[in-house]
Amino acid sequence: MMRKGLPGLSAQIKDKLIQQALERRLRQTGVGSNVEVPLGVPMSNADIPEQHYRFDLHPGYQQLLMLSDGATRLGIDNPFFKIHDGTAGATSLMGGREYINYASYNYLGFSGHPSINAAAQQAIGRYGTSVSASRLVSGERPIHRELEHALAKVYDVASAVVLVSGHATNVTTIGYLFGPKDLVLHDELIHNSVVQGITLSGAKRLPFPHNDAMALDAILTEQRHHFERVLVVLEGIYSMDGDYPNLPQFVAIKRQHKAFLMVDEAHSLGVMGKTGLGIREHFGLAGDAVDIWMGTLSKTLAGCGGYIAGETALVEHLKFLAPGFLYSVGMPPPVAAAALAALQCLQAEPERVARLQENGRLFLELARAAGIDTGTSSGLAVIPAIMGSSIRAARLSAALFARGINVQPILYPAVPEKSARLRFFISCQHTPEQIRHTVQVVAEELEKL
């Protein structure tokens, strides 16, 4: 049915007109701009603009309303905050219907694994559901140290520390260790948590082109001597694109320029390497090749939180003085126990890693053969289907959901508009039949779009 006021136009042209109208409204309302008050000029309370004391007039909320209105006008349902009725793995139950699920970080199927559930239940029986204090004062439990020792062993380093939030792990580590006299360089596609940590630190921030070691070397050659400490931050697997850096090249560059190197392994532990021990195992590097190993417990390790692994001086420093650890409650015992049990399962069942890697290769091969734009993905657990516009991405996600496939769209401003995409997270529990069916359905629905 034609929309009133837009007769005779194709759906693609109508979408474009609506998108342009939304962009004009955003510019006209000044979303994101600030009202400046001249210095030294007294201002009475009556002169204070309403948007300065009302949340419903906050620029971010106004932008959200406009985007929601645009989606409604385009007939697109909100694709976010779907309610899962149970464990989300290769399949998930929502509203009484089972879907093939590609919206979960449960790469190795450890969330819901019987032995991991049992470990969490036993920890509740022994320690309760909370340690009820920061670890420094009275929240320390044996399970914390057991998990940290196991993580340090994975990285072949002296020590590790776990924190209650993965995002906060990057924020507090970078924000505390570096300051205004320092420089932090990061891949241009780095995670938001790293950017937030740099902002907190007050250090100079310089991004470099994605996975471009030579560009980093050139920047360091020009800039290194202007700063005290210098940190370079990479990801093991980039969570939006599914590719990874040539880590040995970056190690050589950081050594040449006497900089620190930090690697965020949120999506690479359990995914890369013959036995899933991450990018270090993939390239056969020593533990001390990287100064700060960071990762999360919420993906492969079936828990929640983050960790830092490295030399004793680094870890002890963070445990006694980093605000995000010092002033935060200790990790809940069942979460720590679940992560430890998952790490033990990872080491005992490397065949899960092999199946995950096989599934990723199959999905990537079929998707490319079907003409789907998968960008630079290596096929290791994260595979995008790049749509080129947020509207197309949202519509394809909705079409797939109607056909029993759950995959989330990644829309502007999370990525540039031209890079809007669907992001498929692959699991070792997906079957080849599910993967073949999914790629076929994606190709069919793309034809309709």
Residues 201-223: tens digit of each pLDDT = 999 999 999 999 999 999 999 99
What phi, psi does 148 have (nearest 5°)?
A: -65, -40
Taking Cα atoms as reference points, which of 385, 372, 394, 373 lies closest to residue 15? 394
- In terms of domains, do 165 and 239 share one? yes
- In terms of domains, do 275 and 417 share one? no
**Is 342 a member of any domain?**
yes
Amino acid residing at 20: Q
Burial of 323 (0-12, 13-18, 19+ CB in 10 A): middle
Taking Cα atoms as reference points, which of 358, 446, 436 lies closest to residue 396? 446
Q: For residue 233, give its domain range.
A: 114-348
Last-in-domain residue among 319, 348, 377 = 348
| Beta-bridge partner residues of 264 | 235, 294
| Beta-bridge partner residues of 63 | none
- In terms of domains, do 430 and 420 share one? yes
Separation of CA 213 from chain center: 22
What phi, psi does 363 have (nearest 5°)?
A: -60, -45
Residue-level pLDDT at 3: 40
In a 13 Å sphere around the CA of 261, the CA atoms on its Cβ side amount to: 25
Per-residue buried b or exposed e for 279-292, using 16+ beta carbons within 10 Å of the residue's own CB: bbbbbebebebbbb
Q: Alpha-carbon distance 303 to 297, whole Å?
A: 5
- In terms of domains, do 292 and 255 share one? yes
Query: How many beta carbons lie within 10 A of that of residue 313, not counting itself?
Result: 10
- In terms of domains, do 144 and 255 share one? yes
pLDDT tens profile 101-146: 999 999 999 999 999 999 999 999 999 999 999 999 999 999 999 9
- In terms of domains, do 185 and 331 share one? yes
- In terms of domains, do 261 and 130 share one? yes
DSSP state of 103: S
- In terms of domains, do 59 and 204 share one? no
- In terms of domains, do 217 and 356 share one? no
Amino acid residing at 347: Q
**Is 84 a member of any domain?**
no
What phi, psi does 208 have (nearest 5°)?
A: -125, 160
Which pair of structure tokens corresponds to residue 263?
């690697």
- In terms of domains, do 173 and 269 share one? yes
- Low pLDDT (below 70) residues in the chain: 1-43
Count of domains forming the chain: 3
Report the SS3 class of residue 415: coil
Amino acid residing at 414: A
* Cα→Cα distances 405→321, 362, 438, Å: 46, 17, 7
**Is 6 a member of any domain?**
no
**Is 80 a member of any domain?**
no
Last-in-domain residue among 295, 316, 348 = 348
Q: What angle do CA 124, 126, 131 make, to 5 degrees?
A: 70
Residue-level pLDDT at 114: 97
Helical (H) or strand (E) element with 161:
strand 159-163
* Cα→Cα distances 337→2, 67, 130, 427, 430, Å: 57, 41, 12, 22, 26
**Is 175 a member of any domain?**
yes
| CATH code for position 246 | 3.40.640.10
Which DSSP string do the residues of 36-53 spell out, in sequence order?
Answer: ---TT----GGGS-GGGT
**Is 213 a member of any domain?**
yes
- In terms of domains, do 196 and 298 share one? yes
**Is 58 a member of any domain?**
yes
**Is 395 a member of any domain?**
yes
pTM here? Answer: 0.89
* Cα→Cα distances 179→37, 173, 175, 198, 283, Å: 30, 11, 8, 9, 32
Report the SS3 class of residue 384: strand
- In terms of domains, do 182 and 297 share one? yes
